[in-house]
Amino acid sequence: MNHGSVVGIFIAPDAGQPMTSVDVVRAVPGRGLEGDRYFKQKGTFWKAEPAFEVTLIEEEAIIALKRDYGIDLAPGSARRNLVTRGAALNHLVGRDFKVGDVLLRGIRLCEPCSYLEKVNGTKLIKGLRHRGGLRAQIVSAGEFRNGDELQAV
């Protein structure tokens, strides 16, 4: 069983804007996270597809980036909505899982890109390759809260 927890929640109000840490955010199927750029259909990579509703990254990947490559990336600078601890996100591709009371479906890996390097001003694709997180679809509405449990169903 894949268990973990949410240790950070981030949204950006507009494309290219810094990610802002929030304690609670509403997840809406077919739209994304209220207040986030993709919810407003404004993100740099926004598409009307389920894979663009919410993104997650493992805190362990951010720690490994510093340990293995000397790159100190703040959790919000990863530009993912949810930072998790203790769950292997790659294993959730094609699977349903819950974060708190919200049902999600893992769609595909969220690989790092040149845009992420550009906004952070550092070469981090190699260090986050296959560890850049997960793109997920919101299946049921609800709220994400810091500390929420993540559990495969």
pLDDT of residue 118: 87
Q: What is the pTM of this model?
A: 0.93
Q: Above 80 in pLDDT, residue 4?
A: yes
Q: At 81, phi and psi to the nearest 5?
A: -75, -40
CA atoms of 7 and 77, how far apart (whole Å)? 14
In the block, residue with structure tokens 């490559």: 69
pLDDT of residue 116: 87
Where does the chain show beta strands of DSSP type E?
A: 3-11, 20-21, 24-28, 32-33, 54-58, 82-85, 96-99, 102-109, 134-138, 142-145, 149-152
Range 78-96 average pLDDT: 97
- pLDDT tens per residue across span 88-137: 999 999 999 999 999 999 999 999 988 888 888 899 999 999 999 999 99
pLDDT of residue 147: 98
Cβ atoms of 146 and 5 closer than 8 Å: no
- CB count in 10 Å sphere of residue 2: 15
In the chain, pLDDT over 90 holds for what percent of residues?
A: 80
pLDDT of residue 49: 79
pLDDT of residue 1: 47
Q: Above 50 in pLDDT, residue 84?
A: yes
Tokens of 76: 């919000």
Range 4-25 average pLDDT: 95
Beta-bridge partner residues of 6: 84
Sequence ranges of the domains in the chain: 26-76+106-153
